[in-house]
Structure 1
């Protein structure tokens, strides 16, 4: 088992980029693929895409992120890759509808982001558990809800 107790840096850091790039061409990078909600975890066991058993035990001042380099030597690397997320796109009909859907999203503590006038809600359980909560807005034509599976730009 590989034990990880610190993050070396980011795959996009200037000092690491060339080494990571060369290892990628040599197919010598293994990835720890995590859902976005697991990035805040500091202590856990998992397996990499290559099947390597690892134990993560990070200090409180470190947090995993997409592209975090966990191990790097002359012949291979281990890098965190965040899974693409599912999103529920909510398009309000007007400003009043936007305020109503925003109220619900805040009151229900949904993790959101904005895309123009649309509100995107991260889908972390069944999509119906979100749409059921705003069903009256959908049925009255105030909000259009569209499920977007696996958006990498989340």
Structure 2
């Protein structure tokens, strides 16, 4: 197990980018994708795609971020990639549907954002689990659903 106790740098820094570019040509950059819910954690165990077991224990003044370099030497590097967030977009047809949908989302403590007349629910698990919790509401009402990805800045 590899112990990581600090972030070495940011992949976008010119000097770091140059070193990583060289290692990428040799196929020795291991990019570990971390779920957004775990990005704020200071202690984390995760396995990289190359099979490296990481035990991350950062000081309180450091955070993981997209592009954080956890290890770099002449032979290899490990870089963090933040998982793309997925959202369930729910568009109710009526005010009554919107009120009931809002009640359910609040009662289930879902993390939400608003986009005009749509309610965006952060998918922190399989989408089917969210559909199952709304099954009665979706069957009885006209609510359009779609899944969107990416950073939906508030």
Flag whether TM exceeds 0.5 (same fold).
yes
Correspondence for 1:111:
111
Instruction: Report matched runs for 1:53-132 at 5 Å.
Output: 53-93=53-93, 97-98=97-98, 101-114=101-114, 117-132=117-132
Change (3 A) 1:147 1:29: same
Gaps of 5+ in 2: none
Which stretch of structure 1 is more off in the superposition, 76-85 or 89-98? 89-98
CA offsets 1:77-129 (integer angstroms, 9 cap, x no match):
11112334443221233566556544543443322345565333222234354
TM-score w.r.t. structure 1 length? Answer: 0.74
| Alignment: residue pair count | 150
Query: Do the aligned partners of 2:97 and 2:141 also contact (CA within 8 Å) in 1?
Result: no
Q: Secondary structure at the match of 1:109?
A: coil
Deviations 1:119-143 (A, max 9, x none): 33222234354335444553221x2
* CA distance in 2: counterparts of 1:122 and 1:18, whole angstroms: 36
Is residue 131–residue 145 contact of structure 1 (8 Å, CA) maintained in 2? no
Q: Are 1:140 and 2:137 an aligned pair?
A: no
In structure 2, the CA distance between the partners of 1:45 and 1:128, relative to structure 1 (3 Å rule), is closer
Gaps of 5+ in 1: none
User: Alpha carbons of 1:10 and 1:97: their partners in 2 closer, same or farther (altered >3 Å)?
Assistant: farther
Shift of 1:5: 0.5
Query: Whole-Å Cα distance in 2 between the matches of residues 27 and 145 of structure 1?
Result: 40
How far 1:6 moved relative to its partner?
0.8
- Single out whichever of 111-120 and 64-73 deviates more from structure 2: 111-120
TM-score by length of 2: 0.74
Q: For residues 90 and 135 of structure 1, what CA distance do their matches in structure 2 show?
A: 13
